[in-house]
């Protein structure tokens, strides 16, 4: 199957029927998934990779370097900042990601083509682009918007907190409706699964995961501290500012030659002031984190707000790096790796944790070996091992007007 990007909105006919016909699955996303630059890209790519060998996939989303075995219908995403998107009771992100004519075009293509299942990569997309009647839908929840927006608002000051508070309030209206309308909902954690289940909905669990290098490189004795993030995301920017301004001076006072490397999408813009600070280097966007993690000694996760699960923490652990986290970021750590992560919200204690790991190489290497023992469980193949079974069960409901209980595969 050749990859094609159809700006005009044509979709290839489905494969001929028969007992061995593959499921035809539509995926609606606002992510330019490939190349993978963010945690959001990584989650969508992980799920689609698990499905593409078994399904005939058609992505409706923005321009991307989509693999050749996935059909891609290109959708224009100029990010519409029309005032009406802010005033509407619907999700601002869903209405802003695709303009009205694009939302209508996608809905029309979903109705015209015979799909077995429609998968939405975010709840706010399912809220503004309904699946055709009789076509089962699955909604992935990398975040629960009610909680994510509330968390962001709680860290803001005065006027800047108003918009996320409003979006959280609006999500209390539209998000439960999306959950109940879907035939299955995917959560990233047990806590989020319980939250979704409160709305009397079928819930599946696919935790975030990452690529796990088969062999890891021990951290160098003189390695640096690494903070990897998407600089465009406000909670990451706030976390980096706290790390640079409140934590790092305490580290330098104990270890004058310590180095902090900040890397990730647009971090050079978000932290343009940081290179003037002692021991701080800002790299910006990179193709892969692997070489930067190989040369690091300690990874930090200083985020205090947001939603869902932080993929970067899993990437740190997959590369067998010890992590210092805030209490909020610690929620993204799988329980089996708890001993490899130190946590605190106090700047002085945070700095002491960093200094302790930088100074004690033997302790650090022992921690890395303990992480390595369970690293395979962080891989996307492991996380999605029952996904195809779950999608097939949902597809079996095709033609039903209302969602029915879907038996979840044992994990």
Write down the pLDDT at residue 392. Answer: 92
The pLDDT tens digits for 347-393 are: 999 999 999 999 999 999 999 999 999 999 999 999 999 999 999 99
Phi and psi for 285 in degrees, rounded to 5? -70, 135
Secondary structure (3-state) at 28 = strand
Distance of alpha carbon 32 from alpha carbon 39, whole angstroms? 12
Bridge partners, 71 (sequence order):
58
What string of DSSP letters covers 222-270? T-EEEEE--TTSHHHHHHHHHIIIIIHHHHHHH-TT--EEEESTTHHHH
* Mean pLDDT, the chain, integer: 87
Task: Scan for tokens 């061995």, then name that residue.
Answer: 20
Write down the pLDDT at residue 155. Answer: 75
Write down the pLDDT at residue 109. Answer: 94
Distance of alpha carbon 201 from alpha carbon 351, whole angstroms? 43
- CA 246 distance to own-chain centroid: 27
Q: Mean pLDDT across the stretch 40-50? A: 90
Phi and psi for 315 in degrees, rounded to 5? -65, -40
Write down the pLDDT at residue 186. Answer: 95
Of 82-86, 148-152, 205-209, least confident by mean pLDDT is 82-86
Torsion sign (Cα): 69, 188, 124, 175: positive
Q: Which pLDDT band, with edges at 50, 70 and 90, does 332 fall under? A: confident
Torsion sign (Cα): 90, 95, 100, 102: negative
In this structure, the dihedral spanned by the alpha carbons of residues 273, 279, 280 and 286, taken in order and rounded to 10 degrees, is 140
Q: Which pLDDT band, with edges at 50, 70 and 90, does 311 fall under? A: confident
Q: Mean pLDDT across the stretch 266-282? A: 95
Q: Give the orientation angle of helix 361-372 with respect to helix 347-359, to 10 degrees.
A: 90
Of 159-168, 208-217, 297-306, 369-378, least confident by mean pLDDT is 159-168
Tell me, yes or no, if the pTM score tops 0.75: yes
User: Is the per-residue pLDDT at 406 higher than 90?
Assistant: no
Distance of alpha carbon 30 from alpha carbon 103, whole angstroms? 11
Sorted by sequence, the CB contacts under 8 Å of residue 385 that are 6+ apart come out as 411
Q: Mean pLDDT across the stretch 128-150? A: 92
User: Is the per-residue pLDDT at 1 higher than 60?
Assistant: no
User: Is the per-residue pLDDT at 408 higher than 50?
Assistant: no
User: Is the per-residue pLDDT at 246 higher than 70?
Assistant: yes
The pLDDT tens digits for 68-121 are: 989 999 987 766 566 666 667 788 888 888 888 889 999 999 999 889 999 999
User: Is the per-residue pLDDT at 157 higher than 80?
Assistant: no
User: Is the per-residue pLDDT at 273 higher than 70?
Assistant: yes
In this structure, the dihedral spanned by the alpha carbons of residues 307, 178, 22 and 134, taken in order and rounded to 10 degrees, is 180
Q: Which pLDDT band, with edges at 50, 70 and 90, does 129 fall under? A: very high
């Amino acid at each position: 199957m050749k990859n094609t990007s159809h700006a005009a909105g044509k979709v290839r006919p489905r494969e001929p029927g028969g007992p061995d016909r593959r499921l035809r699955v539509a995926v609606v996303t606002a992510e330019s998934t490939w190349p993978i630059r963010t945690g959001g890209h990584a989650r969508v790519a992980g799920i689609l990779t698990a499905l593409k060998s078994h399904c005939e996939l058609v992505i409706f989303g923005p321009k991307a370097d989509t693999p050749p075995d996935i059909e891609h219908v290109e959708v224009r995403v100029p990010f519409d900042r029309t005032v009406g998107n802010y005033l509407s009771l619907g999700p601002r992100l869903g209405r802003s990601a695709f303009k009205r004519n694009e939302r209508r075009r996608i809905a029309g293509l979903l109705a015209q083509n015979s799909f077995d299942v429609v998968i939405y990569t975010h709840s706010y997309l399912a809220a503004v682009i309904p699946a055709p009647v009789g076509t089962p839908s699955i909604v992935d929840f990398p975040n629960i918007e009610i909680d994510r927006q509330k968390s962001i608002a709680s860290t803001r000051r005065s006027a800047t907190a108003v918009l996320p508070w409003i979006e959280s309030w609006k999500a209390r209206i539209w998000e439960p409706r999306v959950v109940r309308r879907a035939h299955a909902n995917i959560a990233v954690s047990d806590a989020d699964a319980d939250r979704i289940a409160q709305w009397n909905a079928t819930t599946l669990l696919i935790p975030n995961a990452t690529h796990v290098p088969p062999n890891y490189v021990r951290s160098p004795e003189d390695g640096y501290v690494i903070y990897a993030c998407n600089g465009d995301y406000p909670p990451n920017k706030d976390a980096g500012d706290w790390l640079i301004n409140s934590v790092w001076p305490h580290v330098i006072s104990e270890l004058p030659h310590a180095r902090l490397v900040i890397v990730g999408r647009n971090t050079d813009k978000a932290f343009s002031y940081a290179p003037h600070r002692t021991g701080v280097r800002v790299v910006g966007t990179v193709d892969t984190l692997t070489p930067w993690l190989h040369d690091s000694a300690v990874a930090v996760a200083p985020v205090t707000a947001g939603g869902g699960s932080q993929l970067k923490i899993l990437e740190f652990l997959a590369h067998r790096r010890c992590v210092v986290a805030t209490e909020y970021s610690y929620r993204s750590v799988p329980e089996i790796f708890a001993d490899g992560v130190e946590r605190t919200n106090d700047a002085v204690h945070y700095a002491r944790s960093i200094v302790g790991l930088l100074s004690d190489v033997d302790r650090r290497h022992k921690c890395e070996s303990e992480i390595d023992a369970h690293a395979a469980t962080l891989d996307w193949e492991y996380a999605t091992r029952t996904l195809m079974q779950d999608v097939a069960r949902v597809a079996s409901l095709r033609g039903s007007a209302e969602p029915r209980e879907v038996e979840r595969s044992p994990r």
